[in-house]
Amino acid sequence: MSGLASLFSRLFKGGGPKSAVGLSIGSSSIKLVELAKSRGGWRLLHFGMVALPPDAIVNREIVNPVAVTESLKQLTGAMKLSTHRVCSSISGNSCIIKRMQLEVPNAKEIQDQVFWEAEQYLPFDPTEVVMDYQLLSYSKDKRADVLLVAIKRSILETYMSCIEDAGLQPSVMDVDYFAIQNAFESNYPLQPTESAAVIDIGAASTKIAVIHQGVPVFTKDSALGGQNLTAEIQRHLNLPFADAETLKTGASGGAVPQEVNDLTQVFAENLAREIKRTLDFYLASATGPSVNYLLLCGGSAQIPQLSRVIEEVTGLPTQVLNPFNAISYDPAMFTADYVSSIGSMATVPIGHAFRAGEAK
Ligand SMILES: Nc1ncnc2c1ncn2[C@@H]1O[C@H](COP(=O)(O)OP(=O)(O)OP(=O)(O)O)[C@@H](O)[C@H]1O
Ligand SMILES: [Mg+2]
């Protein structure tokens, strides 16, 4: 269980490299970002993405590793990265993140006790799981507050093989929640009394992390994502997937049929209600603080009315997260319009790049 565990470790900090690459293997596309560390902070060097065939990742598991590797090779071939070391992640049901409070008489025994207790309730065979944890605090009365991450070994190995076969080196494997937390914290100052929910709305999923005092105090993954809306448009207008996607994203440039607008509104309301239910569940079951505001990221955060609808349904201030608040860029290389157009999709890989920049 410990062999691959260090890959998850978020505990080592400082003295990182000058350039950092974050990689997100999403259900619909692969995104890569390279940032450079300078005295004034981080600067955008490269961003690229490539669409994946629809059968490459199903239920957030790689079912066609060859397609993923080939797409990743295509992307790295088109980008001139200055390092092959990347931070990437895994998400989905094979990945569990849990906060635990334990009584541990001796600080040296924290790891053993965390892993032993975790095995009691993990829904997987412990021998098939890779675990790591972050110690949040260890009090004088011998209570350890830890954040546990557990993932199915076979899933982790498939992701790592694809990354390695594409010629990259997975120096850190994280979970998507930590990436959105990193992207949020590096761009938005949060008061110690405040908490924010960061919501990654992708193609096949919506991931919610409530962040408070530097910790994701609550996380939830739902299987509702932008591809559900594309499927509805496909069904109602009897179109192939690609055409429905073009209509949905406004990429056609022409007038959007009223039916598409109506379906988009229904999707936004359903998603907003799902988010409200999740936040209500968090508030009812957790002793954690209430949520002050919501920030959206992921490609589907670009649905024009989504933040307004979520704000109306949840009653909480909502906006789209801008991961470039704290990242500069060379206007000779990127236009402001381009940078703003990639923000939502780039948030997760930027969070990984920040993490890669911390790692030794
Ligand atoms: N302008 C837009 N308007 C509406 N939806 C958009 C727009 N641009 C992209 N999307 C949607 O965003 C989704 C892709 O987002 P993202 O790249 O964050 O997902 P992913 O990481 O591939 O998926 P997941 O995180 O669920 O595994 C797709 O469903 C796509 O249709
Ligand atoms: Mg994603």
* pLDDT value of residue 285: 86
**DSSP string over 290-303:** PP-EEEEESGGGGS
pLDDT, one tens digit per residue, over 95-122 is 888 888 999 998 899 999 999 999 887 8
Nearest to 165 by CA among 70, 269, 40: 70
What is the Cα 15 distance to its own chain's centre? 24
Same domain? For 308 and 343 the reply is no
Structure tokens belonging to residue 300: 């589907």
Ligand of minimum distance to the alpha carbon of 61: 1
Same domain? For 169 and 229 the reply is no
148 has a pLDDT exceeding 80 = yes
C-alpha 23 to ligand 2 mean position (Å) = 10
Same domain? For 160 and 74 the reply is yes
Same domain? For 39 and 161 the reply is yes
Same domain? For 292 and 257 the reply is yes
Rounded distance between C-alpha atoms, residue 237 and residue 332, angstroms: 42
Same domain? For 41 and 82 the reply is yes
pLDDT, one tens digit per residue, over 323-339 is 999 999 999 999 999 99
Same domain? For 246 and 308 the reply is yes
Residue 92: HSE in the Cβ half-sphere, 13 Å Cα cutoff: 19
Residue type at 189 in one-letter notation:
P
Residue 134 inside a domain? The answer is: no
Residue 127 inside a domain? The answer is: no
Same domain? For 172 and 315 the reply is no
Ligand of minimum distance to the alpha carbon of 95: 1
Residues within a 6 A CB radius of ligand 1? 26-29, 60, 202-205, 225-227, 230, 245, 248-250, 298-300, 302-303, 345
Residue 289 inside a domain? The answer is: yes
Same domain? For 178 and 51 the reply is yes
Residue-averaged pLDDT of the chain = 91
pLDDT, one tens digit per residue, over 177-203 is 999 999 999 999 999 999 999 999 999
Of all protein residues, the one whose alpha carbon is nearest to atom 2 of ligand 1 is: 249
Domain, as residue range, for 175: 1-94+153-188+322-360
Between 136 and 34, name the one with better pLDDT: 34
List CB-based neighbours of ion ligand 2 within 5 Å.
Answer: 26, 202
Of all protein residues, the one whose alpha carbon is nearest to atom 24 of ligand 1 is: 202
Q: What CATH number does the domain containing 308 carry? A: 3.30.420.40
Structure tokens belonging to residue 133: 């944890």
Q: Quick one: average pLDDT of 36-40?
A: 84
Task: Please enumerate in sequence order all residues whose Cβ is within 8 A of that of 156, keeping only pairs 6 or more positions apart, or say none.
Answer: 4, 7, 90, 130, 173
Q: Quick one: average pLDDT of 82-86?
A: 94
Same domain? For 161 and 248 the reply is no
Q: Do residues 51 and 68 make contact, with C-beta atoms less than 8 angstroms apart? A: no
Ligand 1 atom closest to Cα of 226? 29
* pTM given for the model: 0.93
Same domain? For 72 and 184 the reply is yes
48 has a pLDDT exceeding 80 = yes
**Helix count and strand count (H, E) for the chain:** 9, 16
Same domain? For 87 and 219 the reply is no
Ligand 1 atom closest to Cα of 49? 17
Domain total of the chain: 2
Structure tokens belonging to residue 205: 């999923």
Residue 78: other Cβ atoms inside 10 A: 11
Residue type at 242 in one-letter notation:
A
276 has a pLDDT exceeding 90 = yes
